[in-house]
Amino acid sequence: MSVSIRTVNLKHGLILAPMAGVTDRAYRNICRRHGAELVVTEMVSAKALHYNDASSFELASLHPNEENSFVQLFGHEPEILSEAVLKICKDREGTIQPLGIDVNMGCPMKKIVNNGEGSALLKDHKLVGHIVRKLRDTTELPLTVKIRIGWDSSSINAVEVARIAAENGADAITVHGRTREQMYCTEVNIDAIAAVKEAVDIPVIGNGGIFTADDAMIMFDRTKCDGIMLGRGTMGNPWLFEEISARIEGKQYVLPDIDVRLNEAMTQVEEMVSDKGEHTGVLEARRHLSYYIKNTKGASSARHRLNFANSLEELYCIGNEFINR
């Protein structure tokens, strides 16, 4: 089981999904250490890059140890998206170029779709083609597109959108198996992803509802997809990549003990603080640590304390209580 996305070769096709407010550098690093073969940044606004927004450039910046990273862009104007690709691919001190570019055509959030971006693009086939063709003409980097299966249950059109993307130069397409209307709350439509796989000749990546190795194997077996993209299922459990790899290879896998997991989590927290400063790093780390201790004894009271933690020292204290039991 392997997949090639233009010049990018993946052994098992295990990819970390872009998640706003989650997949920062520290998170990408921990998932990379535990088996993510390709990682994708948080989605970056092409329009913000057009206006040289510093925070957006920071989101798109990759450090020298991030060679297996794609940058995900969102927008609806082909020229602006093209300009954004050229900007993030310029040599900048202390950063490296992305391995590839991913275009978001699946984000369901209201503030995104109200601008005609994300999932809203699924309603405009002609614009989808223009965007993909413009970016294909702009860069030789691998170019992928992430979509949902449609806007709502009456307009499931992932096959048509995937064909247009492929015809205009996309190297792979990721399909989230829900409509925009369904957000993240309902069962994934496996058959719709399988239909895309049958319809196009480029690699298809299955996405949505993968929280266990069993979920991953169902996605592979029923859709025949070339790879899978893991999102919320990795939160607090980046070892999911290792578990799925072991299952594919027919090996046994045992999840590390909580003390090992929390020591690794604190490494992630330290990287967040190093990158963002203690105030912002701690505020964002509280959410991550809550996921790491989920379903463990004492997690409820610890989460309450995490909500009020304001320093790295406080996070250490809470984590050490689990480690030193």
What are the residue numbers of the active site?
A: 107
Across 112-149, b (16+ Cβ under 10 Å) vs e yields bbeeebbbbbbbeeebbbbbbbbbbebbebbbbbbbbb
Residue length of the chain: 325
Contacts of 247 (CB under 8 A, 6+ apart): 213, 216, 217, 253
Strands 227-230 and 8-10: unpaired
Checking phi first, is residue 209 left (phi over 0); if not, alpha (psi -120 to 50) or beta? left
Question: E strands of 23-108, at which residues?
Answer: 38-40, 44-45, 69-74, 100-105
How many angstroms separate the CA atoms of 88 and 71, rounded? 9
CA distances from 50 to 47, 86, 143, 215 (A): 5, 11, 20, 39
DSSP string, 112-158: HHTTT-GGGGGG-HHHHHHHHHHHHHH--S-EEEEEESBSSTT-B-H
- Cβ atoms of 18 and 72 within 8 Å: the answer is yes
Tokens of 179: 């409509």
Amino acid type, 187: E
Element (H, E) at 6: none
Element (H, E) at 228: strand 227-230
